[in-house]
Amino acid sequence: MNELKPYVIGIDMGGTNTVFGIVDARGVVLTSDSIKTRKHSNINDYIDELYNGVTRLIDSVDAKDQILGIGIGAPNANYYTGMIEDGVNLPWPTPVPLQQLLEDKFGVPVAITNDANAAAIGEMTYGAARGLKDFIMITLGTGVGSGIVINGQVVYGADGFAGELGHVIVKRHNGRQCGCGRSGCLETYCSATGVARTAREFLEARPNEESLLREIPIDEITSKDVYDAAMNGDKIAKDVFDFTGTILGEALADFTAFSAPQAFILFGGLAKSGDLLLKPLKEAMEKNMLSIWKGKVKVLLSELKEADAAVLGASALGWEAPKR
Amino acid sequence: MNELKPYVIGIDMGGTNTVFGIVDARGVVLTSDSIKTRKHSNINDYIDELYNGVTRLIDSVDAKDQILGIGIGAPNANYYTGMIEDGVNLPWPTPVPLQQLLEDKFGVPVAITNDANAAAIGEMTYGAARGLKDFIMITLGTGVGSGIVINGQVVYGADGFAGELGHVIVKRHNGRQCGCGRSGCLETYCSATGVARTAREFLEARPNEESLLREIPIDEITSKDVYDAAMNGDKIAKDVFDFTGTILGEALADFTAFSAPQAFILFGGLAKSGDLLLKPLKEAMEKNMLSIWKGKVKVLLSELKEADAAVLGASALGWEAPKR
């Protein structure tokens, strides 16, 4: 932390909203706001609106000239190149030189990375991973993302894209079709959409079994519906969580063989399912763990406040931005 | 390299032999020798014989007081603790405080790690990985080992045991029994013993098909026999390599999602099978690779001379020993 510049800006660019806030060294979000990511078809108009929004926040807390850096989590953002690379659903042509555009506009150091890496850095700086040097962040949202920390450093790999654990194949044959074009990826099973997909499969495979989920049109079932049904004792819904947790636990045991982390940290909507997910997950993880790691790897839940998490995660990168 | 101490000692402790040599900064093995690992049931007697052997080598090249450090590759050796940990088949009670015993005896800095990590460091220092910062060494021997390098550093993990990629599960259900007590591990398929096992399975499953391998008692078939038969055009033997290469290629595609390496480096007897193994391996790897990495990750063969490789790999760690 710099005494003269005690704040950083965290920006989380999502597919729908861009949330931003001013954060201090203790992880307090002093103030935050958001804009629509898709409002402008020209990237410069988007940057202008973002600049105006951030400047208003800075003025509101009298923090002019006190911003050390800006950290951004954005889809397919590459820490090395500062670019949003191809393959994302955003209204601007990719690659987008986001880091450069923002440094030019704001005049302070900027660092960008993808949302899962930002979450990992946020957890290490302010959350459940404080004091951990080796851990793996698993984000369970619409997809499954990951941020890998080894010896206190986020793993970016040779090209900046390391840590795509949601695309490790967990079912080699006849696996579910994935948005990446392959099949059997972890995220087709263990994301929120994967849970809904499992529920539909189970409902169709067990047509004579009653379930609260049958009250919902089958194509509209969400992971939240499955959670609510399971909490109300629904057998099929509980089986969906057993199935999901088991696959994730098996995968975490394999991931352990790679980097021998102290802990996995789960983040995202599904991570809030409590023992419905954690119990089968931990059982499968321990059962499938190589003996040297049995009982030694923790599974922790994110400690970042839901509303602030994205901004906090991104902001944590802001402290590093001047060192890039 | 230290001008006054231009040499390191590399020691490779195997289950049968312990090979050791004096190595210079260019990776030239000036002289080497070996002793039987299992000759002494008392670890101190083993250390004494090793000390005498190494001292003879040092005297033979007039290198007294010119040894910067000692590097050792040994089974289940932990870089952090300096111990050979439990779970190995050696004639002494484990854990063995190998690093301390050797530092006390030799009076120079000592570093130890397992053989796959030693191979990775050797390849980075003297071999195919010179100039690479992100690569994964895969050793294909009796088992499958791995040494992972990220950003120029070997990944030891929280406990010193990271990089057990031979024990990632590649067949979740009805997989082959592994020596680790679980089933379906990569090494049950892609090690030299895995290749022999596959040959036996194929021969039994295809009883009416001729094969050169049928001239050998089925329990005595080795991976070398399978290689020789395949080179002579034997269909079943070639299918064994296709099967092996495909499983390894699929696994390497998954490993890429973890650390996005520039290259995989293959080492060990099977790595010398040439295109018999590499062709199906590369095909399967590319086919199963997430699109962002298709065509971008190299598969290289070790460049360390077979006879010197183990000593060289261990010796490379010797340069680091004084910095521990």
Here the ipTM equals: 0.91
Question: Are the beta carbons of B169 and A250 separated by less than 8 Å?
Answer: yes
Question: With bands split at pLDDT 50, 70 and 90, how would you rate the model's confidence at B130?
Answer: very high
pLDDT of residue A46: 97
pLDDT tens digits for range B182-235? 999 999 999 999 999 999 999 999 999 999 999 999 999 999 999 999 999 999
CA distance B129 to B134: 9
Does B3 have pLDDT greater than 70? no
Tokens 């290289």, residue located = B300
Q: Looking at chain B, which residue has its C-alpha nearest residue A164?
A: B257
CA distance A149 to A117: 9
From chain A, the residues in CB contact with B170 under 8 A are 172
Compute the half-sphere exposure of residue A270: CA atoms within 13 Å on the CB side of its CA.
Answer: 31
Q: Please give the full DSSP string across B254-307, using - where no structure is assigned.
A: HHHHHH--SEEEEESGGGGGTHHHHHHHHHHHHHHS-GGGTTT-EEEE--S-HH
Question: Are the beta carbons of A164 and B290 separated by less than 8 Å?
Answer: yes
pLDDT of residue B307: 72
Question: What is the dihedral angle through the alpha carbons of A115, A121, A126, A132, rounded to the nearest 10 degrees?
Answer: 140
Tokens 């895969």, residue located = B138
From chain A, the residues in CB contact with B157 under 8 A are 134, 150, 259-261
Higher-confidence position of B305 and B209: B209
Min distance B262 CA to chain A CA atoms (Å): 6
CA distance B62 to B110: 21
CA distance A166 to A182: 12
Tokens 């965290």, residue located = A10
pLDDT of residue B2: 53
> Which A residues, 81 through 120, put their C-beta within 8 Å of a C-beta on chain B?
85, 87
Q: Does B163 touch chain A (CB under 8 A)?
A: yes
Evaluate the CA torsion angle A211, A215, A218, A224 in order and state its sign. Answer: negative
Does A101 have pLDDT greater than 60? yes
> Which B residues, 27 through 86, put their C-beta within 8 Å of a C-beta on chain A?
85
From chain B, the residues in CB contact with A133 under 8 A are 158
The stretch B31-37 carries a mean pLDDT of 95
pLDDT of residue B323: 78
Pick A134's closest partner by Cβ from B134, B157, B250. B157
pLDDT of residue A321: 85
Q: Does A19 touch chain B (CB under 8 A)?
A: no
Q: Looking at chain A, which residue has its C-alpha nearest residue B150?
A: A157
Does A207 have pLDDT greater than 70? yes
Question: Are the beta carbons of A167 and B290 separated by less than 8 Å?
Answer: yes
Average model confidence (pLDDT) across chain B: 94
From chain A, the residues in CB contact with B179 under 8 A are none
Q: Can you give the pTM of this predicted structure?
A: 0.92
CA distance A308 to A314: 10
User: Tokens representing A15?
Assistant: 């597919």
Q: Looking at chain B, which residue has its C-alpha nearest residue A246?
A: B172
Does A277 have pLDDT greater than 90? yes
The DSSP call for residue B250 is H
Question: Are the beta carbons of B250 and A157 separated by less than 8 Å?
Answer: no
Does B306 have pLDDT greater than 80? no
Q: Is-cis flag, bond preceding A217, omega within 30?
A: no
User: Tokens representing A245?
Assistant: 């947790």
Q: Looking at chain B, which residue has its C-alpha nearest residue A284?
A: B172
The partner residues of B139 in beta bridges, in order of sequence, read: B145, B267
Min distance A52 CA to chain B CA atoms (Å): 35
pLDDT of residue B308: 81
CA distance B160 to B83: 10
Query: In Å, what is the CA distance from A291 to each residue of A245, B179, B291?
Result: 20, 11, 34
Question: Are the beta carbons of A290 and B148 separated by less than 8 Å?
Answer: no
Q: Looking at chain A, which residue has its C-alpha nearest residue B252?
A: A168
Does B116 have pLDDT greater than 70? yes
Does A1 have pLDDT greater than 60? no
Of A306, A284, A304, A279, nearest to A294 (Cα)? A284
Average model confidence (pLDDT) across chain A: 94
Higher-confidence position of A321 and B155: B155
Q: Looking at chain B, which residue has its C-alpha nearest residue A169?
A: B254
Does A221 have pLDDT greater than 70? yes
Does A322 have pLDDT greater than 90? no
Q: Does B151 touch chain A (CB under 8 A)?
A: yes
